[in-house]
Structure 1
């Protein structure tokens, strides 16, 4: 069962405390890498990577989200929050963010770093159950750092379809991958989705590419 970790409704006094608290909760790259490595050893098929996304990859993913488009932004598998931070810097208000994270330790960290976001501890692949009840309007985008290649193709397609059912028409489903092939093969999205890809993000370790899927 998904667990709602924090409400984003706060008094002005709470917000002042949060502003002070968030300064001390800024990212420490070395600490984040240690957290990811530990999580990967414990749950390799869930975490999927031994390091968090680099800044350039995070910025590339966030660049596909238009802050002028209304609606919630759903992030799947935010981990320690590098892509979340890029979304905030892009102009997405924390109050618009719904972060779905399986790892409870990462959820605790996300609460400290993004105190006005809505954080759900649960299964991101069950997006209808975890995010659906929290949406007050159709989503503006879904950003995924999930290790999709650890799941069967049928489950990947199910996630893609469910995410688009919760979003506005033409809203992007953004997914990065280290693989040379797309996470959703082109033969599967023909006619149902428009797929595009970024250039290789060489400054990430390892190098990665971002794929974007939209319904026509």
Structure 2
């Protein structure tokens, strides 16, 4: 079920900055340098970022993990949704994006490292279970077994029933249903306003 959008203007005004053409240039350069790591030629559009954030419940107490935040469009949407920056943990592989994220979201914990080894990357850095994981990683560039391993790591660090939220430009789920057994897989409406159009997939491990 699609959750209603929520805004928190006070947090948004104090802690975020808009995504501009400079971000497009940063993303494009990163994509040319490392296309399999960046996975996209531009940041997620605002409509897609809002769709991803809708599946996070800001009233639930706990940490939200964002993996592959890039220049921060989804981070911004999460704060708009009502998640305080202090409850955000961001894993970003690209060292050039890390200081940008730290500047834009000073309350968030920004970790430079490999999200596909999330448990190791966050070892000793978090002290409570996650209430959600929000991923903008280019999963389709990795073998299915590595995608499943990432999903399992995030679930192991999360509260029971916490969602793993991932977008894709494709039609099929980026982590195939047949590879994850009883894990539920639900797709959002297609986000036509994004370029290219995308869909969000929400995974939950049975309680």
User: What TM-score does the superposition give when structure 1 sets the normalisation length?
Assistant: 0.87
Q: Is the 8 A contact 2:15 2:106 kept in 1?
A: no
1:167 corresponds to: 158
Count of aligned pairs between the two proteins: 195
2:17 corresponds to: 26
Q: RMSD value over aligned CA atoms?
A: 1.6
Q: Is the 8 A contact 2:187 2:202 kept in 1?
A: yes
Q: Is residue 43 from structure 1 mapped to residue 39 from structure 2 by the alignment? A: no
1:65 corresponds to: 56
The CA deviation at 1:135 is 1.6
Q: Secondary structure at the match of 1:66?
A: coil
Structure 2 unaligned regions, length at least 5: 1-12
1:152 corresponds to: 143
Q: Is the 8 A contact 2:16 2:76 kept in 1?
A: no
Q: Secondary structure at the match of 1:104?
A: coil
Q: 2:84 aligns with which of 79, 93, 101?
A: 93
1:202 corresponds to: 192
The CA deviation at 1:23 is 6.9
The CA deviation at 1:188 is 1.6
Q: Is the 8 A contact 1:71 1:140 kept in 2?
A: yes
1-structure distance, mates of 2:30, 2:16: 20
2-structure distance, mates of 1:101, 1:53: 15
CA gap of 1:24–1:68, structure 2 versus 1, over 3 A, is closer
The CA deviation at 1:185 is 0.9
2-structure distance, mates of 1:25, 1:156: 30
Q: Secondary structure at the match of 2:97?
A: helix
1:180 corresponds to: 171
Whichever of the two has the greater Rg, that structure is 1
The CA deviation at 1:180 is 1.6
User: What TM-score does the superposition give when structure 2 sets the normalisation length?
Assistant: 0.91
Q: Secondary structure at the match of 2:162?
A: coil
Q: 1:55 aligns with which of 46, 59, 78?
A: 46
1-structure distance, mates of 2:132, 2:53: 10
1-structure distance, mates of 2:15, 2:145: 42
Q: Is the 8 A contact 2:15 2:105 kept in 1?
A: no
Structure 1 unaligned regions, length at least 5: 1-21
